[in-house]
A and B are shown apart, each in its own frame.
Chain A
Amino acid sequence: MRPTWPLLLMTGLQGLSGGMLVTMALLGLTLGSHALSLGAWSLMSLTSLALVGAGGTSSIFHMHRLAGARLVMRRLRTSWLSREVLTTTLLGLATACTALIPRLFSPAPDWYLPLAIAAASLALVALFVTAMIYATIPAMLSWHSPLTVVTMMGTGLLGGAVWADAEWLLAGPRSPVASAVLAGLLRAALILWSFFKILQFRTFAEARTQIRAETGFGLSRSPHRLLDTGTTRAPYRTQTQVWPPIGRARRHVLQGVLAALGLALFILVGMKTSSALLAAAIAVTPLTYVERWLFFADATHSSLVWFPAPYAEAVQRGERTRA
């Protein structure tokens, strides 16, 4: 699969924004809305708004023909992409409300916490809907799994929580107990997330072996050798789904980078100093994007049975040789 930058930005930023909103609401629910200073609420909600705004804007660049954009919510009954447009728009509005209210009212009104909880619930729905776009495509053998939903939502929630943790400390002092509890929870979430990511890597590895020439060609005898994919050139330049899969070495290097970032994050979130938490927030951003890039680039589409990797790679190099 070819990762496209609007999708990487959109899914990553929406996840971080949603994760921040959920963390804000959880902090408000458990500690009470007055446990966080108005500055902390304001900083978190404004960051969340900036993230969801940037993500929403980048999604516009994913459309190649804007004239049809007025119809994007026409298939709400069947299309998760239509639903994503609706839920992300609503999330943007809810985030804007949570960001503006602390600036308009001081102190924040009593209904601010219920509003933040509603926005957080909407964020969870939006993250779920976005993940379902990918999880419900049977032809995407790597993604057609509940693990897609779990890891996609998990990455967003974890990243947003780390950002919220750092911003809370940057906005002012807090009790050592709250810091310790939050650090423990973040570490537990990171371990859980790592567990599901390892499971997902196994699913991706299995997907690479699921392409069956027997059902793709109706030939029971093996081995099979593709002689010609139908033309001497790439399918209309290069289609995204038959983009050459990344090689084993590149995959392992990126998985190693992900593990190193995860380890750094595990150490940093426990250090409880503002500089360490800022470093954690910085570390979780590349972690999100390495994870998301691998999610797209390492995915296997069923049509690769007719465009096996060596052939596709030759096509990418501009060669017109046979496989």
Chain B
Amino acid sequence: MQLTIITDLNKCVGCKSCQVSCKEHNTAGTYGPVPDLDPYGEPDGMWWNRIVSMEADTYPNTSVLYLPKACMHCYDAPCVPVCPTGASFKREDNGVVLVDYDACIGCQLCMWACPYGVREFDEHEGVVKKCTLCIDRIEDETLAPEDRQPACVQSCPTHARTFGDLDDPASIVSRLVAERQGFGLLPELGARPSVHYLPRRPMPGLVDEQTVDRALEERY
């Protein structure tokens, strides 16, 4: 089993509700509180999920892309073997990559090893922290089954994010990746990320004013 999140880049509008809900849940949660230097002031500090905004191409063909970026829960997670204490580990039963804060020495080698820069160092506790795929939610049997999913998935207003088992060929996430050419980031570095993105559909060609007028004349 490899639990993962698939993000449809056509649906993501960059509202950052996943980023905020991650912060909210993990700050209030019990598994791995996200530190915040000034929790009642301007949001600052550690973010396990960041929405990167990017503009591509040149006018008039520009497009903006929003890329939610958190731990990729890689199949060959490079952060795991480099850890000297075994604090970074990958769960065999569900593929989630986690950090045991009691064993972490804060050497930050895993932060260098992670190609995605999604591990962050908590200077107060002296340990490295990262997205847990809301392991406390997905394994909480007191929650209703539909609530047993990461906070970022549940809060997405456009349903751009889908949670499921990538190793199950019948799962929604596997089908989405297979049918819509889902891709992982930085494949050349060999980490085999389980988190995938569904590519943007090509933009329709630009229509000039004369073509519009002609079409209108033909129609009416």
Contacts and interface: CB of A to CB of B under 8 A. Distances in A.
A64 B67 contact: no
Interface string A201-244: 00000000000110111110111111111111101110111100
Given A65-B127, A75-B86, A236 B121 contact: yes
A204 to B, nearest CB: 16
B117 A239 contact: yes
Contacts of B118: 303
B129 to A, nearest CB: 9
B199 interface: yes
A177 interface: no
Given A64-B127, A230-B47, A224 B54 contact: yes
A264 interface: no
Interface residues of B, number: 67
B187 interface: yes
B197 interface: yes
Contacts of A233: 44
Contacts of B107: 62-64, 81
A139 B110 CA distance: 10
B57 interface: yes
Contacts of A104: none
Contacts of B108: 64, 240
Contacts of A303: 114-118
A79 B84 contact: yes
B105 A65 contact: yes
A135 B187 CA distance: 19
Interface stretch (B75-83, B153-161, B170-178): B75-83
Contacts of A80: 82
Nearest to B34: A236
B56 A222 contact: yes
Contacts of A140: 112
A213 B63 CA distance: 14
Given A81-B109, A85-B84, A215 B185 contact: yes
A301 B86 contact: no
Contacts of A226: 52-54
Q: Which DSSP category, helix, strand, loop or mixed, fits chain B's interface?
A: loop
A224 B55 contact: yes
A85 B83 CA distance: 12
Interface centre among B44, B51, B106, B117, by most A CB within 10 Å? B117
A68 B65 contact: no
B79 to A, nearest CB: 9
A236 B38 CA distance: 12
A152 to B, nearest CB: 15
Contacts of A241: 111-112, 117
A212 B106 CA distance: 29
Nearest to B61: A221
B105 A66 contact: yes
A140 B111 CA distance: 10
Given A68-B102, A306-B69, A221 B53 contact: no
Contacts of A69: 105
B29 to A, nearest CB: 18
B45 to A, nearest CB: 6
B120 A68 contact: no
B82 A139 contact: no
A217 B47 contact: no
B67 A217 contact: yes
Nearest to A80: B82
A139 B113 contact: yes
Contact of B51 (A133, A217, A230): A230
Nearest to B55: A225
B77 to A, nearest CB: 11
A215 B188 contact: yes
Contacts of B67: 217-218
Interface string A292-307: 0000000001111111
Contacts of A222: 56-57
Q: 5 closest A-B pairs (Cβ-Cβ)? A: A230-B50, A303-B117, A64-B106, A64-B126, A78-B81
15 contacts: A65-B127, A71-B84, A75-B81, A80-B82, A81-B84, A138-B115, A139-B115, A215-B188, A218-B185, A225-B56, A226-B52, A227-B54, A235-B50, A236-B121, A304-B117
Given A223-B57, A302-B189, 8 more contacts: A75-B85, A75-B86, A82-B85, A85-B84, A215-B186, A217-B56, A219-B65, A236-B46
